Structure 1
Amino acid sequence: MSDPEETSGRSVLVTGGNRGIGRAIAEAFVALGDRVAVTTRSGGAPDGCLDVRCDITDPEAVEAAFAEVEAAHGPVEVLVANAGITADTLLVRMSEDDWSSVIDTNLTGSYRLAKRAVSKMMRARRGRIVFISSVVGLLGSGGQVNYAASKAGLVGMARSIAREYGGRGITANVVAPGFVETDMTDALSEELKAQYKAQVPLGRYGSTDEIAATVTWLASDGAAYITGAVIPVDGGLGMGH
């Protein structure tokens, strides 16, 4: 007879899981039979997910979110740190708040999540952490000094975690999406969409499902020997970086 723990799925937490890439990732884990919780600020979690309200810039809210997930699904075994924001403007016009809000959400928020998740993963001697970065973090982008810095920082964070906790069976990796079809890209003008697409060797935008497939693979047994890696899912846009 199978161990119930083996057949009931893992406890998975996806931040920013109510739309776009985060939603696709959450839905992909649900389809695998995992017990999935998503953090949102205003609700709207996918069907089959535990909807946890959380502002990841608030340490107390992060602690409360993990407590809620643990009570419902058990300790988090797979963390996908996806939640992020932008505040785009040229450097000379960038305010202190433009900088600090993006860094606190995208980078410091991910630190808070990883620190809390690792505390329980260490005891279990297993765990998967996946940070959602961006091709912008590798290539840079005009008007996105704050965003690019926050996304580049995730690479150093993941690789440091990989070195600190690899001996405990914990992996930490980064997925770096390129231009992906989301509500955000839908709002762009046709001229801008064509301009961006022309930069991509594959000649198209990616889909949220393609990002989700990479994340679920990194959390699978097949990727057990992969840690500290940066996986670009960008149609070749950032190759060589």
Structure 2
Amino acid sequence: MDAALRSGDPLSVLDVVAAAHETSGGELRRLWDGMVRHLERQLAGMRAFLLWVLPGRYEQVPREFVLRPALLHLEAVLGRDLEADVLAVERRTVLGAIGNRWAVKDHTLLALTHLKIGTGSTLPPATVATVRRSPRLINDPVWAALAVRVMEPVLNLGEWWSDVALADIAVLGSDWHDLVAHAGAAQAVKPTAKWERATRELLARVGGAEVHKRILSWLSLVGLPRTNPLMRTANGEWVPVNERLDPLQRG
């Protein structure tokens, strides 16, 4: 890589980038991560030079190749403190496509998602649902650390009951939002005294009878076909994902 950088030929640099990604199998915690960090430390002029040729190289990569999201990750890192955002539309497309999947374990997609959140931007609601499902389904602590940072929407989009609940909450107001968020944050098998006190306070604000009626109406929709059908593959194996309920509504 240093030799390619000294040559001043950005295409040669990207050739080394592609080789590093292939050698790493796309795994961020191996050689690929070091390569991205090394390029991130280059002077602004060199990074801008690389950004200038990156879109062309991106378009040359077949759509099904995992190098594509890796180049998007590299572009986001290189241009973080520059005005150039040459592949913004492509990044949005890839992040949106995550919402069509049951779960993801690709750490390049993780990096793209993390960068999006780090800039203060919001993710598409369907993408949020996939981010929340992934750590529970593939037992990945790195995805789990990201999932707990995504607080909105308060429920996962994509099932009839949760879609109706989200629409109702938008009309009913912040007290209902807080009640549902509080319920979703419960982790212990047995509620704690502190959790129960907060629950009673929230119920008093919205009315216990109304909560009972509204939640029963939501639960009557559980099990209906998904409003956002998902790809039938998770981790490379066939899984009947559209017949399953989300294992956890919030991270």
TM-score by length of 1: 0.28
In proportion to residue count, which structure has more strand? 1
Larger CA Rg, structure 1 vs 2? 2
For normalisation by structure 2, the TM-score amounts to 0.27
Structure with more of its chain in helix, by fraction = 2
